[in-house]
Amino acid sequence: MNKIYVTTILIVFIVVVINLLSGEFHLRMDFTEGNQYTLSDATEDILESLEEPVTIKAYFSEDLPPNVSKTRKDFQEMLVEYSSMADGMLEYEFINPNESEAAQNEAAQNGIQQILINVREKDQVKQQKAFLGAVVIQGSKQEAIPFIQPGAAMEYSLSTAIKKLAVSVKPPIGFLTGHGEPALSELSQLTTQLGVLYSPQEVTFTDTTDVPTNITTLVVIRPMDSIPEAHLAKLDGFMQRGGSMVFAINRVDGNLQNAYGTPVSTGLETWLQGKGIEVAPDFVADAKCGAVTVQQQTPFGMMQTQMAFPYLPIIGKFADHPVTKGLETVMLQFASTVRYVGDTSRRFTPLIFSSEKSNSFPAPLMFDINKQWSENDLPLNGIVLGGVVEGNQGGKASRLIVIGDGDFPISGQQRAQPDNVNLLSNAIDWLADDTGLIELRTKGVSSRPIDEMDDSTKAIVKYANFGLPLLLVVVYGIVRFQRNRMRRLKRMSENYEED
């Protein structure tokens, strides 16, 4: 019996020591995809470079459902690591706004949104008011994180809020206008994201103006009118001084009213071809696609129904590159093939691909909205829809990112796909920013819908969920049986002595 007491005391002692050490050393193993619970080098650089203390007030309601309260726990653990990494330059506190009206007013004044969540009690679902937000304060400045969504990229929200307060001068990002491109007001989702680190501004060419000298990254989105040769020459001059550019252009235009698609020419496609990139005047069709609303005759009259439309490809295949890393799905609208036609003096990296069931059709083209698509109609795999070219231009290193669709980042066009904006934000970040925050924007819980898995993967998941628990029970039973058997044999042996 003395052995039992000694063993118990040792176990208790070890547990106590581990708990004491854990208060000083925050060590944990992270086996999640993408290291969801490991702080990035970008965050470490931001925290180590703080010149003025930062205070974080986290407004979280208590007594929340387990799936929501986990968000509070994850956020608190993240703040512990932030505080440890900041070496005394970051403090935090948690406030429960539901405790008093004064606390609720304070949360509202700091820009924290009150949300409604569903709570199940006694087989009934009711709605409960809750707060899940935080405010970052540095001196007289503050930045609110109104809603910390469960499973979202917490580290990106928190690190960018701190970075936004710490940055004194934001570098400008130019957006070309004057040829039918959208104004910044039409890119509200994009400019909101970029506004954390940059100052977006419109650039319009005249006979006497070029790209301002303080701009190193220029964005060209969906030009609709012809671009004069003089303006294309200004783009050449911008590249020759080492400028980098992002192009999201429409090479074709589809009209669902008359079910007809036509090619688009602005002069930019010829200029790009001289840089080694061809955006083909074709329509890419994909089995993974969005839907359009059509009217159909039914026994009950005309009804509107949703039909899959392969010319609205939903992209889920990306290169392992900072521009596309972490993206889940991007919906394009009448996208075109992007090909590299340059020489070996430049390097081309494809970034965006169609699925394994796709095809391309040259414009002009009549759309058959009621067409029943088969696998024979979509025999191609991995059509390139965007890429980056890197090389020297006039002795200066320059980079061009080209995407064969100009509508995807425009507010309201594909609002249901947040990665549409993330794609262009990542592209601009990769060209203009060296903080590393680009990798955090899409760092969150990954979406893995079982409907999008292939049949073999579905079967593995199905049988693993069903069979693995049974297998563990059987293995445990065998181990327990063998252990008890050995004990019986030991008791039956002549040399066995009971302690």
Give tens-digit pLDDT for 121-168.
Answer: 666 777 778 899 999 999 999 999 988 876 667 888 898 889 888 887
Q: Can you give the pTM of this predicted structure?
A: 0.71
Helix (H, G, I), strand (E, B) or coil at 39: coil
- The answer to whether 110 and 59 have CB atoms below 8 angstroms apart is yes
How does the average pLDDT of the chain come out, rounded?
85
Integer Cα distance of 172 and 37 in angstroms: 32
Residue 282: is it exposed, middle or buried by C-beta count within 10 angstroms (0-12/13-18/19+)? Answer: buried
The segment with the largest mean pLDDT, out of 4-18, 62-76, 417-431, is: 417-431
Q: Is the pLDDT of residue 244 over 90?
A: yes
More confident of the two residues 260 and 496: 260
**Residue owning tokens 């440890």:** 84
For residues 268-274, give the mean pLDDT.
Answer: 95
Question: Where are the domains positioned within the chain?
Answer: 41-166, 172-447, 456-499
CATH class of 41-166: alpha beta
409 phi/psi in degrees, rounded to 5:
-90, 0
Was domain 172-447 assigned CATH 3.40.50?
A: yes
End-to-end Cα distance, the chain: 8
What are the pLDDT digits (tens) for 469-493? 777 777 877 887 888 888 777 777 6
Integer Cα distance of 229 and 179 in angstroms: 12
What are the pLDDT digits (tens) for 70-110? 888 889 989 999 998 898 899 999 999 988 889 999 999 99
**Residue owning tokens 């929200």:** 157
- H helix and E strand count, the chain: 10, 23
What are the pLDDT digits (tens) for 99-129? 888 999 999 999 998 888 877 766 677 777 8
